[in-house]
Chain A
Amino acid sequence: MLMQFVHVSLGAVLAVGLSQSAMAQDSASTLLTISGEITLPSGDDTLSLDLDALMDLPVSTFETSTIWTDGVHSFTGVSLADLAEELGIEDGQFIATAINDYAVEIPLSDAVEGGPIIAYLMDGEEMTVRDKGPLWVIYPYDSDAEYRSEVVYSRSIWQLDRLEAVQ
């Protein structure tokens, strides 16, 4: 109970911080808009995050090859697990949408430790839209054959800009 309280409070503080930070920025610099069934201290139903806000969240980095790129690359970003935790989401799924309106469902069950991340750096560099940036959902394909399935590939959405949490 106490842990849950501390957890939620920390999450709230961070969220508020992020929110403040996001609000201080130009709306054009927003990289990711999170909506849906999320609980925010501000009472808003939408959370907009720019690169700095994303980078303030817990950072995950791993190396993997992908079927879309040549060779092994290092990807850095926020893991879905950490994000779901920050947002206080425990079940349901995300509907992830790209800038060209391509949309996939990512069940929250994928959001595990060592699982997919929302990458904002590839090989330590930001990614342009032409390089499938600025945000790209990357699974650690090399670590588990389970991640080398068509379903997972379809969930590996690039040029991500929206997330909606649904039950």
Chain B
Amino acid sequence: MTAKLPKRAIRSRTFALIAGVVAVLAIALLTFNVSREIRLLGSARSDNVQWSLVQTQVEFLEFQKQVDRTPVDLAQLRQEFDVFFSRVTTVKQATVFEGLRANATSKGYLDRIVAFLDDAVVLIDAPDDQLIAQLPQLSALTDEAASDVRALGNSGLELFAQTADAQRQAVARTLTQLAIAIAALIGVLTLAILYLNRLNVKIYRRERENNQTTTRMATVMSTSLDGVIVCDAHGNILEFSPAAEGIFGHSEAEVLGKDIGSVIVPDHMRDAHDAGMERMRDKGEKRVVGKGRVQLEAKHRDGRIFPVELAIQSATTDQGEVFIAFLRDISLRVAAEAELVSARDKALAGEKLKTDFLSTMSHEIRTPLNGLLGNMNLLRDTELSQNQDRYLGHMETSGRLLMSHISDVLDITRYDAGKLNTRSETVNISELLQDIIDNQGGTAAENETSLAWNWRGEAIDWVLSDHDRLQHVMMNLIGNAVKFTRRGSVHVTIENLGTPDAAELMVKITDTGPGMSEGLAKRVFDDFVTGNTSYDRDVGGTGLGLSIAKRFVTALGGKIGVDSSVGKGSTFWVSLPVETADAPAQSQTGIAHQQDSKPLNILLVEDNEINRIVAREMLEADGHTVSEAHDGQQGVDVANTRSFDLILMDISMPVMDGRTATRAIRSGGGASADKPIVALTANAMLEEQKEFLEDGMNDILTKPLSRDSLRALLRQTSGTAPGLGPSNHINAAHIAETRDALGEETFAKLKARFVTEVDELHAWFMSPDAQDFLEIAARSHKVAGSASVFGADHLRESLKSIEAAAKLGDTTAINATIQDCMHTWRKTKKDLVQN
């Protein structure tokens, strides 16, 4: 990294350079000036003026000597005169004598000498004889002039001495100035040197800092476990750290200057990478840079693609914008994650397999058990000896016990598979407890144990809860208490610990039985835990009862626990949050109990011969007519040709299973297409039950068939089946299933929407918009679909009639069916609101 000097330093350096050049130039100029000055001082100002003045006297004397010479040499005399004349002319004219001439005294002498010359020249230029004759006169003139010539020389000397003095002073002044200038220059240079020195120190220090920073950075880069790659805006690699070398398999030397895209970006991501780089160059748009950690794929030198996690930041340097990427090979992490996911999936799959296995096993056990119990049921109708009757009783007890064990296992399976759904229905909690107390009364009496229950505080009869689950739990707890207590008491109290609106029921079952050790009390709700062996012999049990009770209570949102001490008895408690509810209208149950079912024409589709025989016997014993089909296909064929009041459909069958057969019957449009179809199954899983309903089944009957359950169903069917004098417009079983499937809240919402939907349809029927037959048909069809969901079978039939009439374009029929439909809807709506 090359640190550029700041602008200030550049300015200073330039300044120093310029100052240096100026200094050199100034010195050169001054040196030249001084040398010139000295030279001029020596020579240029003047000729050797003093010598010239002296020469004036010399030449005058030479002339005077010739004048006084005897005998006279005229030629020589004239020449000396001319020489002197020439000299004086020079003094008179030459610029160098200007100073002399400016001096008044000197000028006086000079003028007198000139005057002498003017006089003398007349004599000199005269012919030889005249000159000779006038020599004495000339001599006199010359003698007269001698003093002037001398005086001129002296005055000149004095004058030029002054001038020289002035010149010397001028030179001295110039030299002083020069000295000052040089001193100043030296000062400036010294300052410049000091400044440069300071600058130098600063630069040195900065360079050292830079070096340290660079070293530190290099160390950071080389020791970073993450790979560090630096590249410029064009993607050319500028640095490639040792960790990056390890990650990508390239050495720094071989990738420097190369395009990063070609080095580490996998081929299938190249286009996106290049586009990204271009976007960044053109528009400065950054999608990855500065966005924190990103997970991407990268390419190893050997072509292997592996996942990396990277973070990119940009920085502005002298080389322009650079990008620093920190990369980490996360192959191991990704592999570990994948392994975890796969392990989890496997575990889930195993769990599902277990559930499926249990479900299948329960079915496989239930089917033959169904046969056994069914036949025992039939056996009861025959004449039996006393012993036979007792044996049959034992067989039935064993069979039911076995059945309850299978149910226990199934309940646990459902709960653990998360498939245990609870209902929210109005339950009379007092009635429920009273029933159980009544039920257990016999056993308690046998054990010589008193059994009683009571409310503490204000009683709440009606609450929203799951009747069956709650009954199961209470039965289990109270049954256990009664079972284990001999010659003691079992007392049940129930109390509302919450507010009247948000009730928190606390049920306590206190017995004076043997109690439990602390250790057992802790484990008592775990699976397969039983008390001591001798008691087990006495009371039996799978050890699943309490664990199932705990699961149910938990599913209902409550808590269960036990306080117990050995020899003193136990107190089991259940704490349960419930909503209080109003007492429901009493009508339906009462009627259902009293009403005997009418003889029905029933189709039984079942492959298992024993089950078939049992069911037929039971149904025929109640006066119903039974037709049989041995597999799904046969069932469909028969149902299409004949109209039955009810179809009982087994699920698992050869050729065609019950679900497929149901769909075929519903969609086939045959004689029994609209008749109730009830599933017969040992597969009691709730999820599957929902699917059955979706297939078009109206209800589900769990095997083994019992007279009671079959009769209950038939009573319901005879009450809702079309053409049998319906008093109820809603199929109660059906709507109950829907409610189960949807949950209370969603059900309420959908019910309200359904009511609105039908109301709107009727409003539309009455409006002048309802002209298009196809639209009438389409709308009727749609609402008919909703009606079936809520078990509004009459309404559905009615709507289907409208649809049919509309498709035919029969206006009279349409109007009639619409009237009929509105009538039906008024009744249906009333019933629906009650549900």
Contact = CB atoms under 8 A, between A and B. Distances in A.
B47 A69 contact: no
Contact of B47 (A100, A132, A153): A153
Contacts of B42: 150
B517 interface: no
A131 B94 contact: no
Interface string B112-147: 000000000000000000000000000000000000
A93 B740 CA distance: 144
Contacts of B46: 67, 150
Max chain A Cβ within 10 angstroms of own Cβ: one of B47, B80, B96: B47
A123 B416 CA distance: 142
A129 B48 contact: no
A99 interface: yes
Nearest to B75: A28
Given A67-B46, A68-B47, A132 B96 contact: no
A154 interface: yes
Nearest to A152: B43
A70 B96 CA distance: 11
B79 A129 contact: yes
B90 interface: yes
B43 A130 contact: no
Given A68-B93, A69-B94, A130-B89, A150 B83 contact: no
Contacts of B59: 100
Contacts of A100: 59, 62, 80, 83
A68 B83 contact: no
A13 interface: no
Contacts of B44: 148-150
A150 B85 contact: no
Nearest to B36: A145
A158 interface: yes
A99 to B, nearest CB: 6
Given A130-B85, A150-B44, A68 B94 contact: yes
A132 B82 CA distance: 9
Contacts of A68: 47, 90, 93-94, 96
Chain B interface residue number, banded: 20 to 34
A69 B44 CA distance: 16
B128 to A, nearest CB: 15
Contacts of A158: 86
Chain A interface residue number, banded: 20 to 34
Given A67-B94, A70-B93, A158-B86, A99 B43 contact: no
Nearest to A66: B94
Max chain A Cβ within 10 angstroms of own Cβ: one of B42, B44, B46, B59: B44
B421 to A, nearest CB: 125
Contacts of B95: 67, 70
Max chain A Cβ within 10 angstroms of own Cβ: one of B55, B59, B90: B90
B281 interface: no
A159 B86 contact: yes
A128 interface: yes
A72 interface: no
B43 A150 contact: yes
Nearest to A133: B86
A154 B89 contact: no
Interface in B70-113: 79-80, 82-83, 85-86, 89-90, 93-96
A151 interface: yes
B219 to A, nearest CB: 71
B88 to A, nearest CB: 9
Contacts of B85: 129-130
B77 to A, nearest CB: 12
Max chain B Cβ within 10 angstroms of own Cβ: one of A68, A99, A128: A68
Nearest to A68: B94
Given A70-B93, A149-B39, A150-B42, A129 B47 contact: no
Given A102-B55, A151-B43, A153-B48, 12 more contacts: A67-B95, A70-B95, A99-B79, A100-B59, A100-B80, A100-B83, A129-B82, A148-B44, A149-B39, A149-B44, A150-B46, A154-B48
13 contacts: A67-B46, A68-B47, A69-B94, A100-B62, A100-B80, A128-B82, A129-B79, A132-B90, A150-B43, A150-B46, A153-B47, A159-B83, A159-B86
- In the A-B complex, the 6 residue pairs with the closest CB atoms: A150-B43, A129-B82, A68-B94, A149-B43, A130-B85, A153-B47
